[in-house]
Structure 1
Amino acid sequence: MTNTEIDIAANSALLVIDVQKGFDDASFWGPRNNPAAEANIAALMDAWQETGRPVVLVQHASRPGSVLAPDQPGHAFKDLVAERAGKESLLITKTVNSAFYGTPDLADWLTAQDVRQLVVVGIQTNMCVETTARMGGNLGYDVLVPLDATHTFDLAGPDGLHLTADQLATATAVNLQGGGFARVVTTDELLAAAGAAGAVV
């Protein structure tokens, strides 16, 4: 399935998931992929804000001992998000993978705003991004995931199984689009579609 035509709704919501300083700690997380993720996230935030579309910031609050715990410097948003904060439509705090299980309630807000399309970006590709996208698809939203505006880390599993960050991102792409949860697109495709739509809104 190709994404030859992408229609971006005038009120399409950009969900920026967990772009926090704690994810810069390589000693905690290990090797990552996609060094362009942050620049692509910033470009999408700029496009959404410039065209008056809603931006939802999601911030993970981990348990004590984690670099993402609220009492740790890593809980703070990375500079690219902090510099654009204050213009967001909603700020959600969560303690689990899905942004739909946060405070305030994302689904309630989306319903009140009559938003039916979500663009999901952020960290980690195969964790909070994928979980949020899957749940959004289950709830009937039109979900778009620009994989190049996400990144993740190498991960070990059972019995010595180990996947690289790139392998995990590929699996996420297959899970989301192959499973019918979301359409996997690129940042450039979204920027082009949002710019064209924004010009006539």
Structure 2
Amino acid sequence: MTQRALIVIDVQESFRVRPLWRLIDNPDIADDVNRLVDHARGNGDLVVWVLHQEPGSGDVFDPASGHVRYLDGLRAPEDGEPEIRKTSHNAFTTTNLQQVLTEHGVGELAVCGIRTEQCCETTARLGSDLGYQVTFVVDATATNPIAHPDAPADITPEELVADPRTLPAAAVVERTVFALAHRFATIATVDEVVGADASKPAPQPAPEPVS
């Protein structure tokens, strides 16, 4: 049975159609994720595809908008690869992800997607708490600068960049790495994952389902 899974989180057009996309730190994320997908498939690992949706919201995450679909250029899911839709930040709480992983005997996860500090980080944290061995593939994630908590909710990308209180995307990534490393996940690059040799330790057995 498969013991490893690549979790592809929210690599979807909903983000690209927002004005904030022009500030994204990794506009070529589809290429990075595709390398991980090809590697996972070549190893016989499970690939799980996750999309975020907010039905009835009227925004770009509302399925009615037509934007809750995979980012153009991203590999298409193959037959047998689970496709999951979530409504929470992490990929576990509002889905059957843990059940899917348990059914496939998965004990080790690699996490990638959008956004670094939000859906990807929360999924890594919860996955670790559930007993999975987690690898956070940091350069196969993407995020954008974050506005100061006191900034207006409708701040434009131009205003965001001009505000000296804005947290730059590089700082967001750095803080995410500091928070996850040695606590919730192993931090790795795409090159490190794809180039991992055969001496890699065997994956941990799948955790028991939470009753």
Shorter-normalised TM range: 0.7 to 0.9
Aligned pair count reads 186
Cα distance in 1 for partners of 2:78, 2:49 equals 10
| Pick aligned residue for 1:65 from 42, 58, 74 | 58
1:140 has 2:131 as partner: yes
| Aligned amino acid, residue 181 of structure 1 | F
**Structure 2: segments with no counterpart, 5+ residues:** 152-164, 201-211
Determine the C-alpha separation between the residues in 2 that align with 1:97 and 1:25: 19
Indicate whether 1:170 and 2:174 are aligned.
yes
Aligned partner (choices 41, 50, 54) of residue 46 of structure 2 = 54
Distance in structure 2 (CA, Å) of the matches to 1:10 and 1:111: 10
CA RMSD, 1 decimal:
2.2
In 2, Cα distance between equivalents of 1:28 and 1:189: 30
Q: Displacement, 1:68?
A: 1.9
Partner of 2:162: none
Aligned mates of 1:89, 1:151 — CA distance in 2 = 23
Aligned to 2:67: 74
Return the offset for 1:197.
Answer: 7.3
For the pair shown, the structure with the greater C-alpha radius of gyration is: 2
Q: Deviations over 1:61-89 (max 9, x none)?
A: 024232121111321111333x4213452
Instruction: Give me the whole-angstrom Cα distance separating, in 1, the residues matched to 2:112 and 2:118.
Output: 12
CA distance in 2 between counterparts of 1:87 and 1:113 reads 15
CA-to-aligned-CA distance 1:118-140 (integer Å, 9 cap, x gap) = 00000000100000001011111
TM-score (norm 2): 0.80
The ranges of structure 1 where at least 4 consecutive aligned residues each deviate by more than 6 angstroms after the TM superposition are none
**Identity of paired residues, percent?**
35
Matched, 1:130 2:105: no
Q: 1:43 offset after TM fit, Å?
A: 0.4
Q: Which runs of no fewer than 5 residues in structure 1 stay unpaired? A: 1-8
- Between the aligned partners of 1:79 and 1:186, the Cα distance in structure 2 is 22
User: Which structure is higher in helix share?
Assistant: 1
Assess, with a 3 A threshold, how the Cα gap between structure 1 residues 38 and 92 changes in structure 2: closer, same or farther: same
Q: How does 1:1-201 map to 2 (within 5 A)?
A: 11-28=3-20, 31-63=23-55, 64-81=57-74, 83-87=75-79, 89-103=81-95, 105-160=96-151, 161-178=165-182, 180-193=183-196, 196=198
